[in-house]
Amino acid sequence: MCQSIRVLDAMGRVLRSEQLPAGQTGTFNHRVALGQQARGGVYIVQAITTQGTISRRVMLQE
């Protein structure tokens, strides 16, 4: 069960953290609004679950 989503910059600073609705299971899409904080570059998106943390690197193009 996914509890929250975090977006970190390349230096590991948390840019955004969002709690998800209770009971969210399975596959889902979630859009995270970063506003002007995020420019082109590499970011780490983490899904914090009851089983642990899943991290993926993503590249944002300007």
- pLDDT tens sequence across 4-55: 899 999 899 999 999 888 776 677 777 777 777 678 889 999 998 888 999 9
Task: Specify the number of domains making up the chain.
Answer: 1
Say if CB 46 and CB 15 are below 8 A apart. no
What pLDDT sits at residue 24?
A: 66
52 assigned to some structural domain: yes
Percent of the chain having pLDDT more than 90? 35
45 assigned to some structural domain: yes
Distance CA(44)–CA(25), nearest Å, equals: 21
27 assigned to some structural domain: no
Q: Domain range holding 6?
A: 1-22+41-61
What pLDDT sits at residue 20?
A: 83
What pLDDT sits at residue 11?
A: 92
- The answer for 36, left when phi > 0, alpha when psi is -120 to 50, beta otherwise, is alpha
Kindly tell me if the per-residue pLDDT of 61 is higher than 70: yes
- Which is it for the CA torsion 35, 21, 17, 31, positive or negative? negative
Distance CA(58)–CA(2), nearest Å, equals: 19
36 assigned to some structural domain: no
